[in-house]
Amino acid sequence: MSKTVRARSIPYLRDGVPGLTMAEQEAALRAAGADLAAAYRDKLTKMQIKRRTSGSLSERAKMLGAPPSRATETIYVASLRVLGWTMADISRSLAAAGRRNASVHAVDRGRTFTGSTLDAELLDALADTEKEMRGAQSAAGRSAGVLAAAAARERRRRAKIQQALPLWSKPPGEISAAEISALVGMSVRALHYHLGSREDARAKARRSNDE
């Protein structure tokens, strides 16, 4: 005679869920008929909530890493966002549930995602994709920041050159190259590179006056 397979509910709660306190999660799970006596709870410090690392959710890891039971398992959460800090983290948790053939019931949606629908490989792929997208966005942001900084440096350089231009054509006895360098904040070598020799600058200024 075959044995009857028992059903087992596994409530999970944690601190640090946006918009869902631990008390609110408890109320939602009780309303769904979950027995909180056997609940897994991640009670976190303010620093752990601020850091948002997967390693801080030790009870979640214990729940998902436990050997599969002969009973039919359903993990109860007030919302899927209880299962992780990010979409990637949530996807990893759902993948782990799928691998142990456990269902996940989200009370706020009133839906149970069965073990057969939690495709672990797909969920892991989605988690990896989000990580890659975030990395690409960060790289793009860094690249944009580098370009913006370079543009700002170029604007400052041009402003210094414009400031030095009328001074560069004055006689050295009136103002020296070192004095101009200190005044505009560019090296004498850089001024020579961008403005040429002071003799040429004076000659050009004389021709402009003659015209």
Q: What is the pLDDT along the chain (211 residues), one digit of tens a residue?
A: 445 556 889 999 999 998 899 999 999 999 999 999 989 999 999 999 999 998 999 999 999 998 877 788 999 999 999 999 988 898 889 999 988 889 999 999 898 998 888 887 878 777 777 666 666 656 656 656 666 777 777 888 889 889 988 999 898 888 998 889 888 888 888 888 888 889 888 888 888 777 6
Walk across the sheet containing 72-77 and list its strands: 40-42, 7-14, 72-77, 103-106, 111-113
Q: Are 15 and 43 in contact (CB under 8 A)?
A: yes
CA distance 161 to 177: 13
DSSP strands (E only) in 68-188:
72-77, 103-106, 111-113
Q: Provide long-range contacts, Cβ within 8 A and 24+ apart, for 63-66.
A: 63/10, 63/12, 64/93, 64/96, 64/97, 64/100, 65/96, 66/100
Which pLDDT does position 43 carry in this prediction?
97
Please report the pLDDT score of residue 119 as a whole number.
Answer: 85
Distance CA 108, CA 178 (A): 73
Q: Contact at 8 Å (CB) between 25 and 106? A: no
Amino acid at 75: I
pLDDT of 142: 64
pLDDT at 87: 87
Judged on CB neighbours under 10 Å (0-12, 13-18, 19+), 86 is middle
Q: What is the pLDDT of residue 193?
A: 85
pLDDT score at 15: 97
Catalogue all structural domains in the chain, each as residue range(s) with its CATH number: 7-118 (3.40.50.1390), 146-210 (no CATH)
pTM attached to this predicted model: 0.60
Give the residues across from 88 on adjacent strands.
none
**Using an 8 Å Cβ cutoff, are 17 and 25 in contact?**
yes
Instruction: For residues 161 and 114, give the distance between their C-alpha atoms in angstroms, rounded to a whole number.
Output: 70
